[in-house]
Structure 1
Amino acid sequence: MKRRHCAAAALTVVCALAVLSAPVQAWAAPAPIPSATPSPAPKSLPEVRAEIDLLYRKAEAATDAYNLAEKQVTKQTAELDDLGRAIDEGRQKIARLKNQAGAQAREQYRNGGLPPGTQLVLSSDPRLFLDGLNQLRQSQQATDSVLADLTRAQADLELYTEDAQVNWDKLEAGRVEQARAKKEINARIDEAEKLEARLEKEERTRLLELEKQAQAAAQSSWLSSGALKDINREASPSGKAAVKFALAQIGKPYVWGAEGPGSYDCSGLTSQAWAAAKRPIPRTSQEQWAQLTHIAVGDMRPGDLIIYHSDATHVGMYIGDGMVVHAPRPGRNVTLAGAGSMEILGVVRPDA
């Protein structure tokens, strides 16, 4: 027994020595926490200017979409009003025809409930027979006419009702597009204004100088290219009236969707100027580009409209001497600018 205790004790000591003599496991030190992503280098003023210009371009494109949707809503509303009146008149006509048919039925009842043909056969007087035959023909024609009118009136009413539903669906689609475009416009303008607001006063001044320099350089390059053959062509009488109206709006603020008299967007200014010249034109710059007669840039005269950018989202009115009057963008007023200071898509003539 004593020998077994000694053996156990010895085994315990050996195990303890083995543990103590085992190499200690090395634990790695925690990896250092990576530092935050370094802030991007601040943008240069030319980069900021390009970004702001792009945002306002997007807002202007959305403005064209808004103006077009507004035009469609106005059109569909007017058509719905017309259809509503037609439906009301159709219902009144059907009511009158039903009353007329009812009167004929009551007349037959008062005659003993016999059909007119039967009454005619029972007549013993030849003269009455002949008179009755004539009346029968007239009565039958009147009945047929009433029934035909009633059938047409009911068919017209059904058609008006179907058209009203189609126009209502279009109206709702237009309102949805208006809301979407309005949201897009406000988002882009808000983003551009916040970007400008982060600049120091001196930077904003310098930004404006850069914009003017870029426009002047583009205008100089355009004029020297010989793109415009004659900068002072004679305007048509309508063109003179349109130019006079547009120049009178200088200093009024740009407001998207506005058509005057206190503020304008770019196409609101040109469309109202030509309306004042008694030549109504489409409302948006994209419609003006699509629907008005295209003129070579070198042949343009005062009153013609210059459409800008590849998506036709800006328009100005040529006034001669290589200049346009236009409503530039939110935060700016109607002003004069070099006709070639922006990217020209083409020229249209409202009174071609």
Structure 2
Amino acid sequence: MGTGKRGLIRVAVTVVCAVTVLAVPGTVFAAPSPTSSPSASASPSASAGPSVTLAPDKDLEAVQAKLDELYHDAAVATDAYNAAEEAAQKQSAEIVGLAKKIVQGQQKLDELKARAGRAAAAQYRTGGLPDTAELLLSDNPSEFLDGAGRVLQGERATKGLIRELTQTQQDLKQYAADAADQWNRLEAGRKAKAAAKKKITQRIAAAEKLQSRLQKKQKERLAELERETAYQAQTAWLDTGILDEIHSKASAAGKKAVAFATAQLGKPYVWGAEGPDSYDCSGLTSQAWASAGQPIPRTSEEQWKQLKHIDVKDMRPGDLIIYFDDASHVAMYVGDGAIIQAPRPGRTVSIGGAGSMPILGVVRPDA
């Protein structure tokens, strides 16, 4: 990569990092500032409060590592919650469909039973003499034989009626069993969703509590460390020369998906949200592609499992980048080494560097 191009890219990355979700309002990306204590000119009076020494970077790095762990756990639980919600919707639809089949089957069964009753009554009225005796006693054997043929047809119809009656009863029994199975799955999903929700709220509360213990200057320095980490990761990714290999242009559907995602910039991250006022990571990507006429799985894990995998060098705007080994985060590639993502609680939909997090792989919704 030429030095001129690399310099431009570094400038672009700095701008991206400055506006990413990792930034804190009112701060700018800067080199690490030395650990400091309150100015010597500050008044030592009681009203000024106790002096505060900024924690060493290594302590703040430990805090950041813990925050990353908590938010990662929350992201994994959010994926589980979303998967349970999606499954519950499908199971509810299945139950409704089975209920309709049961009603229709019962109506058919009632009709078949009525027909069987009428057939039995007709047979009773004809008497029970054997066919040979009726033939011998008949004044007109020809008429009897004609009648015997109709009786044979009637017997066949009766056997068909019995088979249909039996099949309908078996179908009803199977519908009932399937409905019971779906109810059991729905209940298991409800419990899984409740457990995921509990874990999400616990992890987010723990992260917020940890952050609340930091002084203002510590929070500012922590934000700087976050931006530096993202910047360094993005720079290392770009220094591989990857952008020299990525030349694919967005498809028509991809352009629509990118336009949708771009229109959501600034909206808050809310776990389990699919818009229109807030999103989680996979809620944003799934809705963006739905707006482009291409429905995709709801969760980042299923997006990774079900969508076509693409080499990073072949990705184009609109493709989805899956992050971390457990596919717990997803963002949309928008070109020039940048992504749009809904990052985590407390942040907003924003632009970031595609290489600022560990990439698991890339998938293409409209392959």
TM-score of the two chains, using structure 1 as the length reference = 0.84
Q: Which amino acid aligns with 1:89?
A: Q
SS in 2 for 1:244: helix
**TM-aligned CA deviation for residue 231 of structure 1:** 4.9
The number of residues matched between the two structures is: 311
Residues 1:288 and 2:299 aligned together: no
SS in 2 for 1:316: strand
Distance in 2 separating the partners of 1:242 and 1:116: 78
SS in 2 for 1:44: helix
Deviation digits for residues 139-173 of structure 1 (CA, Å, limit 9, x no counterpart): 11221111111111111112212222222221111
Deviation digits for residues 192-248 of structure 1 (CA, Å, limit 9, x no counterpart): 011111112222222222211211111111101223434553111111111111111
User: Compared with structure 1, are the counterparts of its residues 115 and 349 closer, same or farther at alpha carbon in structure 2 (3 Å cutoff)?
Assistant: farther
Residues 1:211 and 2:226 aligned together: yes
User: Compared with structure 1, are the counterparts of its residues 99 and 116 closer, same or farther at alpha carbon in structure 2 (3 Å cutoff)?
Assistant: farther
2:98 to 77, 80, 83: 83
Which has more radius of gyration? 1
Deviation digits for residues 69-110 of structure 1 (CA, Å, limit 9, x no counterpart): 111111111111111111121111111111101011222333
Unpaired segments ≥5 residues, structure 1: 1-40
Higher relative contact order (CA 8 A, sep 6+): 2
User: Compared with structure 1, are the counterparts of its residues 297 and 228 closer, same or farther at alpha carbon in structure 2 (3 Å cutoff)?
Assistant: farther
SS in 2 for 1:332: coil
Structure-2 residue corresponding to 1:51: 66
Distance in 1 separating the partners of 2:142 and 2:151: 14
Residues 1:233 and 2:230 aligned together: no
Distance in 1 separating the partners of 2:129 and 2:182: 47
User: Compared with structure 1, are the counterparts of its residues 272 and 116 closer, same or farther at alpha carbon in structure 2 (3 Å cutoff)?
Assistant: farther
Distance in 2 separating the partners of 1:118 and 1:167: 56
Distance in 2 separating the partners of 1:141 and 1:312: 61
SS in 1 for 2:331: strand
Structure-2 residue corresponding to 1:300: 315
Structure-2 residue corresponding to 1:222: 237
2:123 to 108, 131, 137: 108
**TM-aligned CA deviation for residue 130 of structure 1:** 2.8
Q: CA RMSD in A?
A: 1.9
Structure-2 residue corresponding to 1:313: 328
SS in 2 for 1:317: strand
**TM-aligned CA deviation for residue 259 of structure 1:** 0.9
SS in 1 for 2:287: helix
CA contact (8 A) 2:247 2:314 kept: no
User: Compared with structure 1, are the counterparts of its residues 349 and 88 closer, same or farther at alpha carbon in structure 2 (3 Å cutoff)?
Assistant: same
**TM-aligned CA deviation for residue 68 of structure 1:** 0.9
CA contact (8 A) 1:228 1:299 kept: no
Structure-1 residue corresponding to 2:340: 325
SS in 2 for 1:148: helix
CA contact (8 A) 1:241 1:277 kept: yes
TM-score of the two chains, using structure 2 as the length reference = 0.81
Mapping 1:89-100, distance limit 5 Å: 89-100=104-115
1:176 to 179, 191, 212: 191
CA contact (8 A) 2:319 2:332 kept: yes
SS in 2 for 1:251: coil
CA contact (8 A) 1:228 1:297 kept: no
SS in 2 for 1:333: coil
Residues 1:128 and 2:143 aligned together: yes
Mapping 1:12-51, distance limit 5 Å: 44-51=59-66
CA contact (8 A) 1:117 1:136 kept: no
SS in 2 for 1:281: coil
Query: Structure 1 stretch 230-239 or stretch 241-250: which is displaced more?
Result: 230-239
Structure-1 residue corresponding to 2:51: none
Q: Which amino acid aligns with 2:267?
A: K
Deviation digits for residues 265-316 of structure 1 (CA, Å, limit 9, x no counterpart): 0011111111111111111111111111111112211011111111110000
**TM-aligned CA deviation for residue 128 of structure 1:** 2.3
**TM-aligned CA deviation for residue 118 of structure 1:** 7.3
User: Compared with structure 1, are the counterparts of its residues 216 and 119 closer, same or farther at alpha carbon in structure 2 (3 Å cutoff)?
Assistant: farther
Distance in 2 separating the partners of 1:327 and 1:146: 61
Q: Which amino acid aligns with 1:338?
A: G
**TM-aligned CA deviation for residue 116 of structure 1:** 8.1
